[in-house]
Amino acid sequence: MNPFRHGLLAARTAAVMPHRQRQLATLSAEGNAPLSVLFYHRVADSHPNDWTIGCQRFRRQIDYCERYFELIDLAEMQLRMERGESRRPAVCLTFDDGYRDNSDFALPLLIQRRIPCTYFVCTANILNQTPFPHDEAAGQPLAVNSLEQIQAAADAGIEIGCHTKHHVDFSHVHDERTVRDEIIHAKSELENLIDRPVRYFAFPYGLPEHLTQVAVDAVIEAGFDGFCSGYGAYNLPGESPFHIRRFHGDPEMARFKNWLSFDSRKLRKNFSLDFRLPASRIPTLPVPTTMTPAFSVLG
């Protein structure tokens, strides 16, 4: 973003913040505080691209979230949605894909501060140590996490989620057998690899066109507690907790603050998509109560 536009955005965000703070206070008192879910991909200072945020910018965002919001996991967020009551603005952190760089800074930081996080990985890329096609197409075949890193992260308290086997675009894949392999079999495979249940699924790309009914049906059949999209929306008390809406952890701090301060103009993105969801799917497993220091293998 050029300096002029950056200045305008920062000024506007500062100007509306007092109103947003009053709005959040009112919503909280009414039990309607929004539940925001951030998604990141890669935290690193090398090979910058549209899905990478620098380490110090990420730390600054985590500092901001810790200061102004309650940091909870996806299960707690779903419980608040199911109860239809949220008394304090809260934030959940998630990561997609599984980049090796995240084990150098981001994951150790979250583990050290005991901040809940769900880390979605693609099993085939992890097992075969193959870069993602979108990175290869950009001329940057970035390294993915090793299985040992994923296992260590899980042991340290990071919740591992499923992101398919091969980072599939379901808007182009409709064969039921392939869909089931990428979701149901990927879940079983990942559970065996980390020796613990896998509760959540995140759709690659995460736009409405990628959330097909055949894929959603497979998510339900697999026994997931919920799935994540990524097209930019809030989670509100009383909505279906099975569909977890997320927005990007934007590297630009003004845009980041704008989203978290609850921009009511963006509520149009909370539309109901045309697919069947279970009436209720409350998480069935206890929330982890402790996070242990990061193992050396994380780095």
pLDDT in tens, 261-285: 988 878 777 776 777 888 665 555 4
Q: What pLDDT does residue 127 have?
A: 98
Domain harbouring 137, CATH code: 3.20.20.370
Q: How far, in Å, are 43, 57, 138, 155, 175 from residue 72 at the CA level?
A: 21, 21, 35, 19, 36
Assigned token pair, 260:
């978290």
- Give the closest residue to 239 by CA, choosing from 75, 85, 71, 116: 85
Assigned token pair, 74:
């996806």
Report the alpha-carbon distance of residue 66 to residue 91 in Å, rounded: 9
Low-confidence ranges of the chain (pLDDT < 70): 1-6, 9, 272, 279-299
Helix, coil or strand: residue 106: helix
Report the alpha-carbon distance of residue 205 to residue 167 in Å, rounded: 9
Q: What pLDDT does residue 298 have?
A: 62
Assigned token pair, 172:
């182009």
pLDDT in tens, 73-116: 999 999 999 999 999 999 999 999 999 999 999 999 999 999 99
Q: What pLDDT does residue 266 have?
A: 80
Report the alpha-carbon distance of residue 77 to residue 94 in Å, rounded: 13
Q: What pLDDT does residue 295 have?
A: 46
DSSP 82-115: HHT-B-S-EEEEEE-S-BGGGGTTHHHHHHHHT-
Q: What pLDDT does residue 296 have?
A: 46
- Give the closest residue to 157 by CA, choosing from 204, 121, 107: 107
Q: What pLDDT does residue 269 have?
A: 73
Domain count, the chain: 1
Helix, coil or strand: residue 202: strand
Range of the domain at 217: 3-298
